[in-house]
Structure 1
Amino acid sequence: TAFIYLFCSFTSLLLQMLFQHSVAYSQLPPLASPAAGHIISNDQLTTYLNSAFGSGPHTVLLFLQDKLSKDDFTVFGGVYGNDKDSAFQNLEAALHSSSSSVTLPAVEWSGSSAIPALLQEKLGVAPLLVDADTLSHLSINASISNLLLINLPYCTGSQKSCKEVLRDNDEIIGQVLSSMKDKNVPYTAIYTGLQPSRVISETSMSSQPVGRSLLQADVTNGTQLIMFNATGGPCIMLWAQDLNISFSSTLAWVDLTKRTPDLTGSMCNGTSSLLVLNYNNEIVLRFAMSQKFYPVSGRNWFTLDTVQLQSNGSTANFLGRRGIYAPAEYSFHCQTVNSFRDALLVPNSTAGNTTEWRLNFIDFQIQGFGLSNGTNFSYASDCAGFFTPGIWMGLLTSLLMLYIFVYGLHMIMQLNTMDRFDDPKGPSISVPQSE
């Protein structure tokens, strides 16, 4: 007995549970644990199902529930719980008896017919609608492929509670699995839903206050997202709200985010990356990055070494000497990267008229190594320091006030009262005088 769990709890995602029962089938192939937040695509799921099904005929049981989400298992019993009041007792018993398991936390959902269509394509047979009673009297030929569909309701619009409906569905699953066990027919079962029962809505960022954040979310709706693809997939990504250049402080800024660049000349490998943005041969920006191992930190770091600007036959070079770096598997993000005020890009004064040019990148993020999330940046290393000038001023003022308070308290504690006092009502002190 072997199981695959495919749990999905995000917007437009489907929860799926696939398990296999047969002493003749080999155990399910191992699968590397996906990174946190990674969503298994339909192509990845298809590839794994190909390896799980293998060759030869298969009998597949598809338990298709109207709605299903991972939260249903958490709220109404949990897949791994031992609660006798759980709504998934038969399912839990089947899971505990498995000899191998694979968990996929999130799977892409593209429609209610995605899984039935995928299985119909893989098996080459049309689905047969059955129930527990019909299956007990059905003769199954294990020498050919079979796709048996069992529809299950959900609690929406039902007079029963969700837990009661799910418990009834679990009883149906238990009856079906018992029938298959009595028939001694090897099978693969999938428990899934037509759509998620709980959808996590995505809050629009337009109404949220602007603040510091680590950018690992999808940025495909941004103003300027540039991606260079090599043979093995994406290897360089650059994002900016504004890419502005100007020849001098007296001339207007030129906004490059409204133009589409040509990436010809870009390259990447294990140690260096070069992103070339060619805007109709009028303006060319080159971002040169490199990575190397630093023994002190015990890890690889990447740096943005230079930014080169070519325009109207002149060339300007800027050195990234002031903090444009991040771990090699991270991206670098900074709200403002410029060459004239708190400059992270230092003009190379030895290279012609570099000091005449000005660069100003707003909401800038770049990554030249370790891209493994498709169209998403990796975890971002932000240029903003934790101790801002305002925080330093507040700390110093607080320390000064604390010093004054402690000094005053110390002075008060040092005060002593007199041990003798003159009594004005008593006899006066006479001091005899001698001649």
Structure 2
Amino acid sequence: MLILGWDASDDGFGYATAKPRQISRRTDVAWELRRQLMATEEEDSLSYPPLNVTNGNYTCILFYASNFSLKANDLFFIDLTNITFVNQNVDISSSKCSDINTTLSLKYTKPVSGINSLEIRFLMTNVFYGGSARNWSTLESVEIVQDDKKFAKFNVSVISAPAEYSFHCQLVGTSNLYPARLIPSNDEAKNWDVFISRFQIQGFNIENSQFSYASDCTSFFTPGIWMGLVTSVVLLWILAYGIHMIMQLTTNSRFDDPKGPALSVPQTE
């Protein structure tokens, strides 16, 4: 529910909402409303509620994926989607929340024949960066522990967002083709393939047990856009150089000055 009103002590409209909180006093009201509508539409499109981790009376972690699957040693294919989000047959008691570090721990008992136990950890940090003058939430690493003895660790690329936002990416995993990659950090991690689609996670500043506006992993300047921009710049430079050279063309002044000496052409027999 959104309430608009006039606040005599402010220069603009004051508002209250159950959606993501205002992150800057200078944020334009219309843009803030647009972000709230986008967040509402995204939450409405979820097939099932996100996994909710609580710390006392408040939610500290939200996690969602439309497909959450693993492959181990090219032998075991493990689909964790239903048992994580639909049936929620997963142990999250080892998850930890704080204002600086958050760990989402997902423990499964016999998720597939041949594996007795499986734990997946998502490790997130909340750090202030002076360059942007704000806190950023970053998924630092993902860990997989099989049968309490085999430990695989993955470093994570480009999964970060302002601390007030959630993070969303259409494809996350170990494939080189995914915009957000899980990069093996040890030898055991090379035995695992991870596939996550419509990935969304938030580990800080959650309000009303709902995702905040999502910062997407796909940048506005995609490789195709960069190629088009570079090509356009090169063509414009060639055009400008050609026009400059044409403007520099001149004719001999002897043919243009009627008062100049006559042109003498010697004649020979």
Mapped to 2, the partners of 1:264 and 1:239 lie a distance apart of 18
Counterpart check, 1:277 vs 2:106: yes
Once the two structures are superposed, residues 141-181 of structure 1 have per-residue CA deviations (whole angstroms, 9 ceiling, x without a partner) of xxxxxxxxxxxxxxxxxxxxxxxxxxxxxxxxxxxxxxxxx
2:143 counterpart letter in structure 1: Q
Deviation for aligned residue 1:297: 2.6
Aligned match of 1:346: 183
Q: Which has the higher contact order (CA 8 A, sep 6+)?
A: 2
* Change beyond 3 A, Cα 1:257–1:430: closer
Deviation for aligned residue 1:396: 1.5
Return the index of the structure with the highest Cα Rg. 1
Mapped to 1, the partners of 2:57 and 2:106 lie a distance apart of 21
* Change beyond 3 A, Cα 1:377–1:308: same
Query: What does residue range 355-434 of structure 1 map to in structure 2 within 5 Å?
Result: 355-374=190-209, 376-418=210-252, 419-420=254-255, 429-430=265-266
Counterpart check, 1:319 vs 2:117: no
| Higher normalized strand content (fraction of residues) | 2
* Change beyond 3 A, Cα 1:378–1:278: same
Aligned match of 2:166: 331
2:66 counterpart letter in structure 1: Q
SS state at 2:243 partner: helix
Mapped to 2, the partners of 1:369 and 1:411 lie a distance apart of 59
Mapped to 1, the partners of 2:45 and 2:145 lie a distance apart of 28
SS state at 1:363 partner: strand
Q: Is the 8 A contact 1:331 1:367 kept in 2?
A: yes
Q: Is the 8 A contact 1:224 1:241 kept in 2?
A: no
Deviation for aligned residue 1:406: 1.7
Segments of 5+ residues of structure 1 without an aligned counterpart are: 1-5, 10-31, 39-212, 422-427
Once the two structures are superposed, residues 52-79 of structure 1 have per-residue CA deviations (whole angstroms, 9 ceiling, x without a partner) of xxxxxxxxxxxxxxxxxxxxxxxxxxxx
Mapped to 1, the partners of 2:133 and 2:200 lie a distance apart of 24
Q: Is the 8 A contact 2:167 2:215 kept in 1?
A: yes
* Change beyond 3 A, Cα 1:415–1:262: same
Q: Is the 8 A contact 1:214 1:381 kept in 2?
A: no
State the identity %. Answer: 37
1:273 counterpart letter in structure 2: T
Query: What does residue range 133-282 of structure 1 map to in structure 2 within 5 Å?
Result: 215-216=39-40, 217-219=42-44, 221-223=46-48, 225-248=50-73, 250-251=74-75, 253-259=77-83, 260=88, 261-281=90-110, 282=117
1:278 counterpart letter in structure 2: K
Segments of 5+ residues of structure 2 without an aligned counterpart are: 5-13, 21-36, 111-116, 257-263
Mapped to 2, the partners of 1:380 and 1:226 lie a distance apart of 16
Mapped to 1, the partners of 2:265 and 2:202 lie a distance apart of 94
Deviation for aligned residue 1:242: 1.1
2:94 counterpart letter in structure 1: G
Mapped to 1, the partners of 2:123 and 2:78 lie a distance apart of 22
SS state at 1:385 partner: coil
Q: Is the 8 A contact 2:144 2:152 kept in 1?
A: yes
Deviation for aligned residue 1:373: 2.7
- TM-score, normalising length from structure 2? 0.70
* Change beyond 3 A, Cα 1:292–1:412: closer
Deviation for aligned residue 1:229: 1.6
